[in-house]
Amino acid sequence: MELGEKVLAKINNGIGVIGFHNPKSNSLPRKLLNELTAEFKNFGKNPDVKVIVLESIGEKAFCAGASFDELLAVKDAYEGQEFFMGFANLINEMRTVPKFVIVRVHGKVIGGGVGLVAAADYALSIDTAEIRLSELGIGFGPFVVGPVIERKIGKSAFTQLAIDHDWHSAEWACEKGLYNHLFTTPHDLDDGVKKLAMDLAKCNPEAMAKLKEMFWEGTDDWDRLLMQKAAESGELVTSDFARNFIHSFKQK
């Protein structure tokens, strides 16, 4: 029986693991975005959790970004903003949770998924995990995820990724700083994630929390900024261009 849309959370030896799954290439509808945000908030308050690992479930894509089904269902700019606020809230929760976030990337990453990888403090990936910002070709742009991606890889690389909205290799992503380490097999990836998480779980929680504050200095205005970006995306996603593209894509 195939696992449906679901967020799973567990704690083991100080490591909090948050996993998500959607049969449609691990794309993210608002329900999953809200549940992920809630789990990060819960782990942030739980003293038993020393470090957080974010992963998706399955063997194909890590995350295909926004759910096309929900984007097609958006009736107006307000509903569009509400949808994109799901990504904004999750990114903000990941950056403010007072614990390091490790992301395990086992497959390709598209659109909003790239934003989640960038919002983590450390990213471990398989060496076949290509990335793509496809938003411009769809009819809007990577506005909500833009600030966190630009912060991670710099304006020049973000510009390239947004304009040349095709696939970029895992090696490219690692060179630009989105991924911190590449592995050749899923087994090695799992070992790498486990080793790093176990090492961090033994570190001083107060020291890690203060380091995290230092890492994210200059982002205090992101609650307002990402809300503004969500409004921009919400307006553009209701355009005829975007609707026609998404509809034709789903017919393939």
Percent residues over pLDDT 70 in the chain: 97
* Residue 249 confidence (pLDDT): 63
Averaged pLDDT, 12-33: 96
Looking at domain 6-201, its CATH superfamily turns out to be: 2-enoyl-CoA Hydratase; Chain A, domain 1 (3.90.226.10)
Instruction: Give Cα 77 to chain centroid, integer Å.
Output: 23
* Residue 245 confidence (pLDDT): 76
* Residue 1 confidence (pLDDT): 35
Q: How confident is the model at residue 176 (pLDDT cuts 50, 70, 90)?
A: very high
Mean pLDDT, the chain, rounded, equals 94
Record the pTM. Answer: 0.94
* Residue 252 confidence (pLDDT): 57
* Residue 42 confidence (pLDDT): 98
Q: How confident is the model at residue 250 (pLDDT cuts 50, 70, 90)?
A: low
